[in-house]
């Protein structure tokens, strides 16, 4: 029996190789995984042309996944530097990579990325449209927008961020709302501008069936973008954001009718006490489709440290049911992230994702922490490094300040609580004298 997409296969009772691999990674039953894919609660983004992919599942009951943004721009066109980031991101176990390239040899970079990456690849085709077509935004036609989408699909991209929910009605709401930061989504702002300049409807909303046909044919997942995501805590949970989410819910159901996999993108900047409600609202309005968030950043006053503000929000979002976290680096709002910025962002976001998994009782999440606790209780330093999310930094810290006694650290020395409890419980003398 043939199938078009992972959702189509699941609905026909076909267990694909991708499903088997995801079930193995997640320690879940393949039958329950297949049921969630059929219902749209879980996705496996995997373009048929991305042959190097090691597929990941995103959705209900699975580990919270982490995405890394990178790509070339007019000010930073070093393809090799971005490929170094790709390799580091894969080594640091990022499950997704979004290529946000918007200038220069974007197709060349995208082709290399898809060829080398075992992680799922996402793009925002409208970023590429102006440079690819070498035309002013106002002069790009609907067919030309779709030509760029078709190129990204043919290149093997697994999920496409398309801001189809920012239609004319939603755009009118943006103009009514007293937003401090208006539209901060790059893709959303480009579409908003195109609509205003041409007095026209969003082409991806108006011609949504055309988009679905392409996605169905190549098993490309739609990541329905949040053009109205809040760019400040002031703008969170306003009418424009909710209006767009309602539209995304309608578009989700239309995609499912064509067996096209969908995830929903969410905020953004948001006060800590609003995050859980936003996750629940998005899940409700979008019928339980997987939810993909940027942060959320819980304060606006920490530039240079936004990997921390985002990790705080990301942990709460993941614990409340978000399925996919887009990393944020210390360079957010300031510059293109360096390799070191990227590493800091990945670790911070992986911490947030894992904290959320513990809260959600994802299989094997707590077991990892319990194994680390056992290694600490045993003062087993090699095992602690082996289990560490990032083994390199703790090893460097340990080596940089060696203690007099191997069963201690240089902070506590012989007063180490773990060392002394182990000795007392074993009936040994403490001998705390220097």
Beta carbons of 72 and 109 less than 8 angstroms apart: yes
Residue 326 marked as a ligand binder? no
Residue 229 marked as a ligand binder? yes
Give the C-alpha distances (Å, rounded to integers) separating 30 from 15, 17, 21, 24, 25: 8, 11, 9, 8, 11
E strands, 25-90, in order: 42-43, 58-59, 65-70
Residue 286 marked as a ligand binder? no
E strands, 81-156, in order: 96-99, 120-123
Structure tokens at 185: 């989504």
Burial of 219 (C-beta count, 10 Å sphere; 0-12/13-18/19+): buried
Residue 416 marked as a ligand binder? yes
Per DSSP bridges, beta strands 42-43 and 58-59 are antiparallel
DSSP letter (8 states) at residue 420: H
Residue 102 marked as a ligand binder? no
Residue 234 marked as a ligand binder? no
Residue 292 marked as a ligand binder? yes
Give the C-alpha distances (Å, rounded to integers) separating 9 from 51, 195, 221, 425: 18, 37, 14, 57
Residue 186 marked as a ligand binder? yes
Residue 207 marked as a ligand binder? no
Task: Centre a 10 Å sphere on the Cβ of residue 376 and count the other Cβ atoms it contains.
Answer: 14
Q: Distance (Å, rounded) from C-alpha 24 to C-alpha 85?
A: 28
Q: Distance (Å, rounded) from C-alpha 313 to C-alpha 352?
A: 8
Q: Distance (Å, rounded) from C-alpha 422 to C-alpha 416?
A: 10
DSSP letter (8 states) at residue 122: E
Residue 269 marked as a ligand binder? yes
Residue 98 marked as a ligand binder? yes
Provide the greatest CA pair distance for the chain.
Answer: 83
Query: Residue 348's Cα: distance from chain center in Å?
Result: 13
Residue 409 marked as a ligand binder? yes
Residue 361 marked as a ligand binder? no
Angle, alpha carbons 309-126-94 (nearest 5°) = 45
Q: List, in order, residues 6 or more apart from 38 with CB less than 8 Å away.
A: 7, 10, 11
Residue 389 marked as a ligand binder? no
**Binding site for substrate: which residues?**
69, 98, 127, 163, 185-187, 226-229, 265, 292
**Binding site: which residues?**
69, 98, 127, 163, 185-187, 226-229, 265, 269, 292, 333, 409, 412, 416
**Binding site for [4Fe-4S] cluster: which residues?**
409, 412, 416
**Binding site for Zn(2+): which residues?**
269, 333
């Amino acid at each position: 029996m043939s199938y078009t997409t992972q959702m189509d296969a699941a609905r026909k009772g076909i267990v694909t190789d991708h499903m088997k691999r995801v079930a193995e990674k997640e320690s879940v039953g393949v039958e329950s995984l297949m049921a969630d894919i059929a219902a749209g609660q879980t996705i496996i983004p995997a373009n048929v042309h991305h042959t190097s992919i090691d597929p990941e599942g995103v959705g209900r009951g699975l580990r919270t996944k982490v995405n890394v943004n990178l790509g070339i721009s007019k000010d930073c066109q070093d393809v090799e530097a971005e490929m170094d980031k790709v390799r580091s991101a894969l080594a640091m176990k990022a499950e997704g990579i979004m290529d946000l390239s918007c200038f220069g040899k974007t197709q060349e970079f995208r082709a290399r990325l898809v060829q080398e990456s075992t992680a799922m690849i996402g793009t925002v085709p409208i970023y590429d449209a102006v440079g690819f077509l070498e035309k002013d935004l106002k002069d790009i036609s609907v067919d030309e927008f779709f030509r760029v989408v078709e190129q990204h699909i043919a290149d093997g991209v697994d999920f496409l961020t398309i801001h189809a929910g920012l239609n004319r009605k939603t755009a009118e709401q943006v103009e009514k709302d007293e937003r401090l930061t208006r539209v901060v989504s790059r893709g959303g702002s480009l579409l908003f501008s195109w609509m205003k300049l041409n007095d026209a409807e969003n082409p991806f909303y108006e011609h949504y069936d055309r988009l679905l046909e392409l996605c169905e044919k190549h098993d490309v997942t739609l990541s329905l973008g949040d053009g109205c995501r809040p760019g400040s805590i002031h703008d969170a949970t306003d009418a424009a954001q909710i209006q767009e989410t309602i539209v995304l819910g309608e578009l989700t159901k239309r995609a499912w009718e064509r067996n096209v996999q969908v995830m929903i993108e969410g905020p953004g900047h948001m006060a800590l006490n609003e995050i859980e409600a936003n996750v629940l609202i998005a899940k409700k309005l979008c019928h339980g489709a997987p939810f993909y968030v940027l942060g959320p950043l819980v304060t606006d006053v920490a530039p240079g440290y936004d990997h921390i503000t985002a990790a705080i929000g990301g942990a709460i979002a993941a614990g409340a049911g978000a399925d996919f976290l887009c990393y944020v680096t210390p360079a957010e709002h300031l510059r293109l992230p360096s390799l070191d910025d990227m590493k800091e962002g990945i670790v911070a976001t992986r911490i947030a994702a894992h904290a959320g998994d513990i809260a959600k009782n994802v299989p094997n999440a707590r077991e990892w922490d319990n194994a680390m606790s056992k290694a600490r209780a045993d003062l087993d330093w090699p095992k602690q490094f082996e289990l560490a999310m990032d083994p390199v930094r703790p090893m460097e810290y340990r080596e940089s300040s060696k203690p007099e006694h191997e069963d201690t650290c240089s902070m506590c020395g012989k007063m180490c609580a773990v060392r002394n409890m182990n000795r007392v419980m074993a009936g040994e003398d403490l001998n705390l004298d220097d």
